[in-house]
């Protein structure tokens, strides 16, 4: 039986173009993808780990793969993945996401960037890879990503990422850098809604929204059209008090028509207190959603959680920040494998453990790895 029929996740990569000429192909590209993803799920963090993991489980892999020339060396993994077309690879990833037939209706999708700090190469002058990722937090899945030269280039990268994604019904959340007319228009073109923070990079808009909430505040937010929600949370000795306020976009707001389908404005006041200090912050937002404050609060909390649910896990559990993979397309391909493995592990329901525990068990026990690959997540 073809492994693509047995484990759906792999069928999305069966037609991926091999960049090598025929005479140099000792190992099948599809086999290498299967080996690498299984290794990433089972604890591998570098190409040397992939080689070790694959050799240790070669008899299990031969149940599904021919492996006529054995397991590729770590140098072969690194060299071949450095040559891949990342856009085509991402399209394969999107095929898998589409095959899951997930409903994004009402689901939050946080778009946020992350730098792989040790992926730079001083010898060639190559900067550290910066990745912009779309993370559906409640669904525990990475929907896609694009790589950019640095954080300053995220603005042009986000529309490219949106083009890759199917977002019908989703609520896309972004920070103030992406408060751009073209970006919100692209989100609406993808039949999704947006909540975007507003700061001084859009000075006129920022001042207009701020002034509107000053007026509402002077009336103690008693206007019939204004909705307010207060929450308190204590976590590890830190108290966080939040006040969310939303209102319809005022007809007097300058250039409101330039922001596609702008329907509401929002404000969040946050007060944090721990043993060492206290801090206050106020942030303003614009949105295509109707002014429903609990919906607004839910999606903002989901966006703020991406740091722990995605970035922190990639660094602590997958050692992404420490990765020295740096040649060609290999850093980005490796980052896609990590996010794909993380998505599968987070969505898995066959093993009752955290992500680190699931990785350990999948590495130790091929039957558990097989169950994870067969599950609804994969």
Q: What is the pLDDT of residues 221-278, one digit of tens each?
A: 999 999 999 998 887 778 889 999 999 999 889 889 999 999 999 999 999 888 778 8
Give domain status of residue 181, yes or no.
no
Give domain status of residue 158, yes or no.
no
Mean pLDDT of the chain: 90
Give domain status of residue 182, yes or no.
no
Give domain status of residue 316, yes or no.
no
204, 293: one domain: yes
Give domain status of residue 237, yes or no.
yes
Give domain status of residue 162, yes or no.
no
Domain that holds residue 229: 194-297
Give the whole-angstrom CA distance, residue 120 versus residue 331: 10
CA-angle at 297, arms to 256 and 140, nearest 5°: 110
DSSP 327-361: STTHHHHHHHHHHHHHHHHHH--SS-S-HHHHHHH
User: Contact at 8 Å (CB) between 287 and 196?
Assistant: yes
**Tens-place pLDDT, residues 54-98:** 999 999 999 999 999 999 999 999 999 999 999 999 999 888 888
Give the whole-angstrom CA distance, residue 34 versus residue 67: 11
Give domain status of residue 201, yes or no.
yes
Give the total number of structural domains in the chain: 2
Give the whole-angstrom CA distance, residue 182 versus residue 242: 31
Is a pLDDT exceeding 50 seen at residue 1? no
265, 348: one domain: no
70-98: b (≥16 Cβ within 10 Å) or e: ebbebeebbbbbbebebeebbebbbebbe
| Final residue in a domain of this structure, among 238, 269, 297 | 297
């Amino acid at each position: 039986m073809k492994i693509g029929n047995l484990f759906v996740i792999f069928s999305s990569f069966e037609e991926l173009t091999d960049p090598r000429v025929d005479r140099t192909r000792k190992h099948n590209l599809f086999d290498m993808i299967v080996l690498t993803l299984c290794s990433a799920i089972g604890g591998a963090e570098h190409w040397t780990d992939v080689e070790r993991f694959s050799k240790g489980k070669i008899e299990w892999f031969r149940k599904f793969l021919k492996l006529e020339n054995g397991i590729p060396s770590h140098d072969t993994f690194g060299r071949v993945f450095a040559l891949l077309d990342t856009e085509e690879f991402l399209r394969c990833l999107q095929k898998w996401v589409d095959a899951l037939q997930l409903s994004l209706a009402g689901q939050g999708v946080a778009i946020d960037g992350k730098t792989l700090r040790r992926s730079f190469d001083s010898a060639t002058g190559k900067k550290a890879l910066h990745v912009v990722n779309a993370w559906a937090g409640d669904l525990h899945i990475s929907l896609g990503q694009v790589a950019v030269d640095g954080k300053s280039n995220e603005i042009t990268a986000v529309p490219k990422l949106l083009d890759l994604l199917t977002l019908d019904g989703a609520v896309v959340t972004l920070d103030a850098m992406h408060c751009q007319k073209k970006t919100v228009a692209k989100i609406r073109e993808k039949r999704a809604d947006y909540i975007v923070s507003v700061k001084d990079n859009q000075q006129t808009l920022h001042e207009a929204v701020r002034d509107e909430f000053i007026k509402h505040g002077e009336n103690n937010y008693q206007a019939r059209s204004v909705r307010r929600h207060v929450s308190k949370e204590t976590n590890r000795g830190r108290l966080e008090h939040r006040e969310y306020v939303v209102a319809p976009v005022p007809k007097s707001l300058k250039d409101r028509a330039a922001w596609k389908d702008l329907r509401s404005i929002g404000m969040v006041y946050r007060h944090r207190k721990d043993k060492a200090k206290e801090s206050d912050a106020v942030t303003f937002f614009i949105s295509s959603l109707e002014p429903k404050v609990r919906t607004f609060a839910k999606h903002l909390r989901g966006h703020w959680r991406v740091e722990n649910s995605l970035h922190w896990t990639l660094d602590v559990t997958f050692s992404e920040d420490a990765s020295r993979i740096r040649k060609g397309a290999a850093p980005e391909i490796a980052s896609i494998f990590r996010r794909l493995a993380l998505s599968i592990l987070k969505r898995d329901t066959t093993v009752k453990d955290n992500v680190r525990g699931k990785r350990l068990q999948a590495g130790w026990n091929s039957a558990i790895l097989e169950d994870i690959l067969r599950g609804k997540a994969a």
